[in-house]
Chain A
Amino acid sequence: MTHKAETMDPQGPPHVHHMDATTAYGAAKLGMWLFLATEILLFGGLFCAFALFRWTYLEEFHQASKHLNVWMGATNTVVLLISSYFAALAVDAAQHGNNKKIVTYLSITMLCAVGFLVIKYFEYSSKYHHGLSPLNVEFNSPEFNAAYKCFFGLYYCMTALHGLHVIFGMAILGWVISKARKNRFSERYYTPVEVGALYWHLVDLIWIYLFPLLYLVG
């Protein structure tokens, strides 16, 4: 039921037959915040499992955590923080009706996301070379310390699920960039930019907790 009112205002809000533009903007934002709430609870279950097993196997978790590269983790943290900064700038650009800047800033965000995934790839392959990944035979043998396996299992679940969300975020931002390149947005309508950026910030937020939990405190 959405008709692009191209003839009237090509950069304005799309015509939605059951709500006016201001309501639609508020609805989209509230909807995204609700969705972010579900994501927090989704990852929260993993944090709960991690909390329990860290308490159960404190010493092993400390030791296992030492296998993680703190500098790679910290770099990834900074990379994501920067990506969030540029996402916020993109929304600001949108609020001022500057489609070019939206493209520039979100492209930097995307670049950071790629950087994050590249570092992640190096981390994962390093684990593989040390026989610490689920693809290794040693990892799956009964001799592998069960508590270590628990740590790494949770490490992979949490970081992989997070990585998947990075990819989802990139898809969303990629779509927003493609719209911005067609000058779709203006001060009157930039809902996808704001809502996409909100999703991206969540990806950053989760990593803000994951990094110290997995890499530092172990």
Chain B
Amino acid sequence: MSHHEHNETDSHDNSHGNGLGHIIPKSVYALVLGALIILTVITVAIAQVDFGNWNIIVAMLVSSVKATIVALFFMHLKYEDPFTWIYAVIPIFLLIVLIAGVFIDNPFRY
């Protein structure tokens, strides 16, 4: 029921729109794309190195860096309100709980 309340986004920035979403400079998008492609190259390259049991962790970590910058910039998460952050992060947390629950089971069976 707010007319012009303080939206999640509008603070310091002069790229305001009409109190709607935060506007990110296009150069940032280009930089992010560049980083993503470099990270993809790294993903493939690093898979040639054998870290043993850590292989999957390393691969998932690189993916997570990519996912993070897609979320923060392409999806504007950096400028969203705390509740959106909670709903963006909590599924990952719950998945960790699920996988942890399975992995304290199967590996510890007889």
Contacts and interface: CB of A to CB of B under 8 A. Distances in A.
Interface in B74-110: 74-76, 80, 83-84, 87-88, 90-92, 94-95, 98-99, 102-103, 106-107
Contacts of A84: 70, 74
Given A87-B74, A217-B47, A26 B40 contact: no
Contact of A22 (B4, B33, B107): B4
The contact size tier of chain B is 35 or more
Interface in A196-215: 197-198, 201, 204-205, 208-209, 211-213
A208 B63 contact: yes
Contacts of B80: 29, 33
B31 to A, nearest CB: 11
Interface string A29-48: 11001101110110011011
Interface in A69-118: 70, 74, 77-78, 81-82, 84-85, 87-89, 91-92, 95-96
Interface of A: 19-20, 22-23, 25-26, 29-30, 33-34, 36-38, 40-41, 44-45, 47-48, 51-52, 54-56, 70, 74, 77-78, 81-82, 84-85, 87-89, 91-92, 95-96, 187-188, 190, 194, 197-198, 201, 204-205, 208-209, 211-213, 216-217
